[in-house]
């Protein structure tokens, strides 16, 4: 593993960003932790929070949905009210200046867009939007949140610890939790995100792969790449013999194929990059 300082890492990134063709950027949970959103894994790639709900469990079990929405009642507001941090802002500025291309994010928090990024692929969707799994109608998640509060006021006073992706550490018997259904067809409402056990839409993957193939390289920021949905892009860059730069505190699944592994503070490094360009 390389042992660059943030200043040295910034010099490497600045040189890469001045290539004639912009690079593609892939971001993970590590870029949003400074915005107060917890990550699932620690720097060693080990789970530090309970695994997220599985797609089939959510769809097949009303009991699972009761538990999910009871916890979400306290976890999702943290996600909804989160503000972009300096790292999001630097990437937005670099994109606006044409120094990076598309940002592919594994996050579902929309913080890149809130920071001003104009070209973002939300690989795993948007946690602030609801989708009916029967009629495909989209609606704001804020409406679902308000309905859950109105139907379950006895849950409002609880104060559990917040987890990743709008979850919270709340256990117990949730059989009395009333879960709203679609107002159009009474179908199951689900956040418009790709849950574990589900597949990223093929068109989304193919667009990301095309962009990487046409770019000067891939810069991965704040992702362990443990999940294949992100790792496949690192592997693609490697197979195309394009620069693969990993900016992440801790191990990643692509450490052995990276052109540079920069295990340094993300925010400090990106701030230095901006000052050098």
Q: Which residues are catalytic?
A: 124
Question: Residue 41 in contact with residue 47, Cβ under 8 Å?
Answer: yes
CA distance 223 to 12: 19
Place of tokens 């695994």: 51
132 belongs to an annotated ligand binding site: yes
Question: Residue 194 in contact with residue 125, Cβ under 8 Å?
Answer: yes
Pairing of β 120-122 and β 100-105: parallel
Q: How many residues does the chain have?
A: 277
Which DSSP category does 179 fall into? P
148 belongs to an annotated ligand binding site: no
- Give the three-class secondary structure for 234: helix
CA distance 103 to 118: 9
* Structure tokens belonging to residue 39: 């990550």
**Bridge partners of 162?**
168
**Bridge partners of 189?**
132
Question: Residue 73 in contact with residue 148, Cβ under 8 Å?
Answer: yes
Give the burial string for 133-169 (b: 16+ CB within 10 Å, else e): eeeeeebebeebbebbeeebeebeeeebebbbbbbbe
CA distance 272 to 277: 9
Which parts are annotated binding residues for Zn(2+)?
A: 132, 135, 182, 185
């Amino acid at each position: 593993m390389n042992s660059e300082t943030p200043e040295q890492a910034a010099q490497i990134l600045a040189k890469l960003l001045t290539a004639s063709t912009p690079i593609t950027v892939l971001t993970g949970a590590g870029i949003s932790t400074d915005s107060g959103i917890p990550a699932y894994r620690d720097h060693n790639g080990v789970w530090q929070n309970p695994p997220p709900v599985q797609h089939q469990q959510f769809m097949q079990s009303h009991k699972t949905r009761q538990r999910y929405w009871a916890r979400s009642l306290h976890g999702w507001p943290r996600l909804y009210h989160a503000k972009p941090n300096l790292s999001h802002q630097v990437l937005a500025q670099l994109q606006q200046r044409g120094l990076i291309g598309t940002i592919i994010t594994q996050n579902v928090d929309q913080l890149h867009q809130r920071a001003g990024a104009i070209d973002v692929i939300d690989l795993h969707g948007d946690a602030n939007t609801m989708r009916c799994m029967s009629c495909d109608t989209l609606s704001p998640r804020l409406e679902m949140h308000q309905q859950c509060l109105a139907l379950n006021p006895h849950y409002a006073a609880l104060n559990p610890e917040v987890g990743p992706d709008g979850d919270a550490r709340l256990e117990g018997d949730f059989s009395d939790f009333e879960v709203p259904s679609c107002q159009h067809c009474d179908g199951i409402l689900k956040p418009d995100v790709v849950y574990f056990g589900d597949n990223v839409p093929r068109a989304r993957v193919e667009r990301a792969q095309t962009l990487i193939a046409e770019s000067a390289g891939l810069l991965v920021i704040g992702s362990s790449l443990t999940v294949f949905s992100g790792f496949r892009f690192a592997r693609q860059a490697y197979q195309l013999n394009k620069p693969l730069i990993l900016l992440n505190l801790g191990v990643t699944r692509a450490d052995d194929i990276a052109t540079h592994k920069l295990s340094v503070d993300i925010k400090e490094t990106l701030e230095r990059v901006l000052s050098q360009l």
